[in-house]
Chain A
């Protein structure tokens, strides 16, 4: 694994500068297909309640869910790529496939170095206390026990879960779990970083901290991908946007070109009431104008991500 020469990133305040077209390749995704194989029992007709037991059960059938259907693109050094799309569009699947954690059915992903996935949805070991999960997560990432001991307190502090660190993770709220997992995964700087909806979790205070950490990781990493439903965070962080829908790329280009189109498609043309639309716009304005005021920031963000889902 060659250590890539790190080029100084030109991140002036605000929007990052576009990446030159001759920057070294970091990731090549070549006609990627990802298929989930499931065994599904087809619903027997008109069987309800107890009678369902009596009716002869159909044999489970193999069903293939084609989550990614032929995705190709190239990512260069220094790019920050936002991945947007509806729920179920294949965004997280694409991230897992790029990270090499989900084997493709067809096609290949090539990378310079091993991409690291910062997923908040990937649970470690639920039956174990948070402290044990920190230890296991870091060791699995390849750190030495000494390094784990060194980073431990930082992670606990960053996640903000306090004494709950000694309770099993299954007793955690989803927000606490997500925070801890994000704290573990983001504690190690990486060359190629895949961040999966990390910004959509946690309360306002944690959101601010995680946004800061993502910014730092982005400065340290060569290439990052950010999956998010929050268009504001995509606009803030990314200089390129890939729009996925139903496992294929619909659009790939500048955020300024694509995000308005995306919002026009999923933000305005739906059955959403005019009132909600107006509130969303007001919140966005408020968010853009006030940088220092972060109280209520979290609810705004998650609200928006929920609205964008539709």
Chain B
């Protein structure tokens, strides 16, 4: 009867293509939402947004003390402080995008249950917000790199490309995790630990390649570590920004980084779109 009268189910999913068009049409909402989230954090505490910017700085300090000073994990790295800066600041973007993205549906249920809009806007807006935080903290990273003896070279011109690839991957991950957490909320409690371990094995604070040989891993395990997305993104970032350090793998990293970006972004959008119409269930 309903179909005969030309009615559509209210929770029906639009086609993937028209979903993407809908997201594009809400880009003003996306921008405003990202800005609003930054604002709301500013009003929470005295230093507000500054804490987000300072987060990688403090993380760096902890890692420097732990791995650089106490454990002597700097390995073959000449400029360990610069190595940490490039790694920690870049990984912070991935980590915070995934963490905040995963909660983007569950922490905005009020909005989801009040107004119709393509839900993918929420995880996307969260990544946009994290990107803005990254840009605010960027000068700190550059200053640390320059103080510790790096020079600005032509390679720096490649850094924006590395950042784009990394962001594409982060968006894809944020979308995937947003849907998973919207269904199984408990996952968001485990996520910080998973991300921390992921950071450890991705060579954020130690040159992971140096360790691999010593651990005597089988070749397939070494391969997994080498194509692990954060590893390749940190490698290409360091290659761009540091002239005292050559990441193992060279051009191979760029190919893998591009593949991850090109795969994860559409995959995340598709995976999130598959759940459209089911978000907001309590």
Contact = CB atoms under 8 A, between A and B. Distances in A.
A303 interface: no
22 contacts: A2-B6, A36-B282, A37-B282, A99-B10, A99-B116, A100-B277, A101-B112, A101-B280, A103-B278, A103-B281, A110-B7, A110-B10, A114-B116, A123-B110, A123-B114, A132-B36, A136-B29, A139-B26, A139-B28, A141-B117, A142-B26, A181-B114
A96 interface: yes
B7 A25 contact: yes
Given A103-B280, A127-B44, A136-B36, A110 B8 contact: yes
Interface string B16-57: 000000000110110011001001100110000000000000
B43 A136 contact: no
Contact of A98 (B2, B10, B39): B10
Contacts of B28: 139, 144-145
B111 A125 contact: yes
Contacts of A27: 7
Q: Which of B10, B28, B29 has the most CB of A within 10 A?
A: B10
A209 B113 CA distance: 26
A136 B25 CA distance: 14
Given A127-B40, A128-B36, A136-B29, A100 B10 contact: yes
B78 interface: no
B111 A124 contact: yes
A115 B10 contact: yes
Contacts of A25: 1-2, 5, 7
Q: DSSP class of B's interface residues: helix, strand, loop or mixed?
A: loop
Contact of A101 (B9, B25, B36, B116): B116
Contact of B7 (A99, A112, A135): A112
Given A102-B280, A108-B9, A119 B114 contact: yes
Interface in A89-105: 96, 98-104
Contacts of A139: 26, 28-29, 32-33
Contact of B10 (A24, A109, A137): A109
Nearest to B40: A127
A28 B10 contact: no
B11 interface: yes
B111 A103 contact: no
Contacts of A44: none
A275 to B, nearest CB: 40
B190 interface: no
B224 interface: no
Given A26-B7, A104-B11, A140-B115, 17 more contacts: A25-B2, A28-B1, A28-B7, A37-B281, A99-B116, A100-B116, A112-B7, A114-B10, A114-B116, A117-B114, A132-B32, A132-B36, A135-B36, A139-B32, A140-B111, A141-B115, A185-B114
Nearest to B27: A139
A128 B108 CA distance: 13
Interface residues of A, number: 50
A128 B40 contact: yes
Contacts of B3: 110
Interface string A157-198: 000000000001000000000000100010000000000000
Given A112-B7, A114-B10, A136-B36, A124 B114 contact: yes
Interface of B: 1-3, 5-11, 25-26, 28-29, 32-33, 36, 39-40, 43-44, 108, 110-117, 277-282
Q: DSSP class of A's interface residues: helix, strand, loop or mixed?
A: mixed
A122 interface: yes
Given A25-B2, A103-B281, A142-B26, A128 B39 contact: yes
A132 B39 contact: yes
Nearest to A24: B5
A71 interface: no
A111 interface: yes
A128 B40 CA distance: 6
Contact of B5 (A1, A112, A168): A112
B154 to A, nearest CB: 40
B61 to A, nearest CB: 29
Contacts of B277: 100, 103
B277 to A, nearest CB: 6
A96 B10 contact: no
A101 B113 contact: yes
A103 B11 CA distance: 7
Contacts of B282: 36-38, 102
Nearest to B3: A110
Q: Which of A98, A126, A128, A139 has the most CB of B within 10 A?
A: A139
A2 B5 CA distance: 12
